Copies of this chain bind each other. A is one copy, B any other.
């Protein structure tokens, strides 16, 4: 049996660990052959493949990124995209496809299965941890670790100088990275996309923190947005939807805090640093087990499923169901963490 593998969407520490586990178990236990597709859906769309066997996956476990390459190519937006993929798979003799990706990548897999009967197994991937049906996605723990270490370092400066330190972390639609790293790093304010923030409230926390001990650290997700009321400021760096534009919400917020509280503020924008480098041990464990269970799905003929983490178990859930809803931060959890604000 020949099995295809592809990785789609943004890169995420742990992708290589999944690929390695799929191939190791597939070859050793089940005697499968593998075809790697290059750059996500572009690979099967254009028939662009790479050899994928045990030597090809040696040494990739600790490496970030993906040896298969990735892209955001969406075959649903191309004429006959799905059909061309189906034809290419057939021509290559690929009988099952393991797709590692986020909502978009897995959405294509669903269509491919439903419309053309191509047997697909999904492995969830989002650094933002915003996918329902799984407790965690790999890459998230690594990103949280990197952001937490940065916040740890800022405490040193906060202790010595009277400056507000603003850290902008990843998270366009969900505040998981901000919440976890902010809590783990002992931040004094955490702002997430799920709840529009009140700049005045932020300034109140900043001021009370200065009184209580040393300088405050504000963690803000890149997708966090100020409340309507804040827009009367007519700050030109807010676009017409109220999204903070140009230099990012971190820079914008730092200026607002300076203007309103009179304290100096400095910004750190971690950017892509958060998704690079070697995966944490947790992410390697999770990604490897996802890979082992994905190839088991193929072996069991259990298609249309996605592997997922529930507690310490790896389970199988229907792909379609799994991607249906964005997993955002529950207001109750945000409130639980709020005891550390200010």
Q: Give the B-binding residues of A (Cβ under 8 A).
A: 10-11, 13, 24-25, 28-29, 58-59, 61-66, 69-70, 135-136, 141, 144-150, 152-157, 159-161, 163, 165, 180-181, 183-186, 213, 246-247, 251, 266-278, 280-282, 284-285, 288-289, 292, 310-312, 336, 339-340
Closest 7 CB pairs of A and B: A153-B276, A64-B156, A156-B276, A153-B277, A268-B271, A184-B281, A184-B284
Would B146 and A276 count as touching, CB distance under 8 A? Answer: no
A53 to chain B, nearest CB (A): 12
Closest to A144 in B: B281
* A180-B285, A312-B135 as given contacts; A275 in contact with B141, CB under 8 Å: no
Let me know if A153 and B146 touch, CB within 8 A. Answer: yes
- Among A58, A59, A150, A271, residue most surrounded by chain B Cβ atoms (within 10 Å): A271
Assuming the contacts A135-B311, A148-B281, A165-B272, asked whether A160 and B65 have C-beta atoms less than 8 A apart, the reply is yes
**What residues on B are CB-neighbors of A157 within 8 Å?**
11, 65, 272, 275-276
Rounded to whole angstroms, the CA-CA distance of A184 and B286 in the bound complex is: 9
With a cutoff of 8 Å between Cβ atoms, the chain B residues found around residue A62 in the complex are 152, 155, 185-186
- Give the chain B neighbours of A288 by CB distance below 8 A: 183-184
**A141 vs B288: C-alpha distance in the bound complex, in angstroms?**
16
Tell whether A152 pairs with B276 under 8 Å between CB atoms, given A29-B339, A66-B160, A186-B61. Answer: yes
Contact indicator B145/A280 (Cβ below 8 Å):
yes
Q: What's the number of copies of this chain in the assembled complex?
A: 4
Q: With a CB–CB cut-off of 8 A, which chain B residues contact A11?
A: 156-157, 159-161
Which B residues are CB-close (under 8 A) to A64? 153, 156
New A-B pairs, 8, CB < 8 Å, besides A61-B186, A267-B271:
A11-B160, A13-B156, A145-B280, A163-B272, A183-B284, A183-B285, A184-B288, A269-B269
CB distance from A328 to the nearest CB of B (A): 13
Give chain B residues whose Cβ lies under 8 Å from the Cβ of A310.
311
Shortest distance in angstroms between A218's beta carbon and chain B's nearest beta carbon?
13
Point out the residue from B65, B159, B251, B340 that lies within 8 Å of A159, measured CB to CB.
Answer: B65
Contacting residues, chain B, for A183 (C-beta < 8 A): 284-285, 288
19 contacts between A and B (CB under 8 A): A10-B161, A11-B161, A13-B156, A24-B339, A24-B340, A25-B339, A59-B155, A61-B184, A144-B281, A144-B285, A147-B281, A153-B274, A153-B275, A153-B277, A180-B281, A183-B285, A268-B271, A292-B339, A311-B311
Known: A25-B339, A153-B64, A161-B11. A141 touches B251 (CB 8 A): no
Set B28, B66, B136, B285: member contacting A339, Cβ < 8 A: B28
CB < 8 Å neighbour of A58 from B65, B213, B277: B213
